[in-house]
Amino acid sequence: MAIHHHKRLVAIARPGDPSWITIQTPYYIDDVIFFKNQFYVVTVEGVAMVCDIVDRMASVLTEVLPVSGIGLQYELKYLVEMSGELLLVVKFLYDYNDHYEDYDEFFHDIKDPAYKTDKFEVLRLDILDKKWKRLLNLGNYCLFLGFNTSIAISAENYPGLRNNCIYYTDDYAYGYMSDKIPGGIDMGVFDMEDKTIRPHYQGVSNCYYSPPVWFRHPS
């Protein structure tokens, strides 16, 4: 399943399908995951839903649980499976554009970068209690978030990775929608313990077209 057309449409392709099936939804979708034989989506407002594909032209979205207590509409959200549980990860961004009422003034005074990641919060879905519960520690796991499918990996199996950390790439849409705000530069490693951010790529990788993506080497 893939999200396209500015988060308004989702498409699915199953084994044997001659082409992708595009499905319209009444919501803007931030992320999607296949978890325990069901498709889960999270809307830009922070509502998790189960997506039931009825046929090639329609789908039914059933609300699972909204997230409350934190403002979510303008943040980035990711669904991740970790050790058999469903996590919702929220990336909080600081956008310098928010302090300008005039876009021309903003572009004249543009900084590098024009936005940056401030912090992350992780929530775990408790299906029995029907609650999102904050998760303060990832244990031996680390998360990889970005424009493609987000994954959780045990750091024990990959020497060099730091457990209890979130590795992220620059997938903020506005960094790829203007010829004056380069994307691909807001990347780092967020430590869940001390809340610090360290770079994982030291070079300059500005890009005006496509966000960087993660690739996992087949084991």
| Residue position matching structure tokens 């039931």 | 52
User: In this structure, is residue 26 part of a structural domain?
Assistant: yes
User: In this structure, is residue 22 part of a structural domain?
Assistant: yes
Average pLDDT, rounded, for the chain: 79
User: In this structure, is residue 82 part of a structural domain?
Assistant: no
Better pLDDT: 72 or 125: 125
User: In this structure, is residue 190 part of a structural domain?
Assistant: no
User: In this structure, is residue 51 part of a structural domain?
Assistant: yes
Q: How many domains does the chain have?
A: 1
The answer to whether 134 and 158 have CB atoms below 8 angstroms apart is no
- Owning domain of residue 33: 1-66
- Token couple for 185: 């530069």
User: In this structure, is residue 196 part of a structural domain?
Assistant: no
The answer to whether 177 and 201 have CB atoms below 8 angstroms apart is no
User: In this structure, is residue 87 part of a structural domain?
Assistant: no
Q: In whole angstroms, what is the distance from residue 128 CA to residue 180 CA?
A: 48
Query: Residue 99 — very low, low, confident or very high, per pLDDT cuts 50/70/90?
Result: low
User: In this structure, is residue 13 part of a structural domain?
Assistant: yes
* The model's pTM: 0.82
- Which helix (H) or strand (E) segment holds residue 63: the answer is strand 59-66
pLDDT value of residue 108: 47
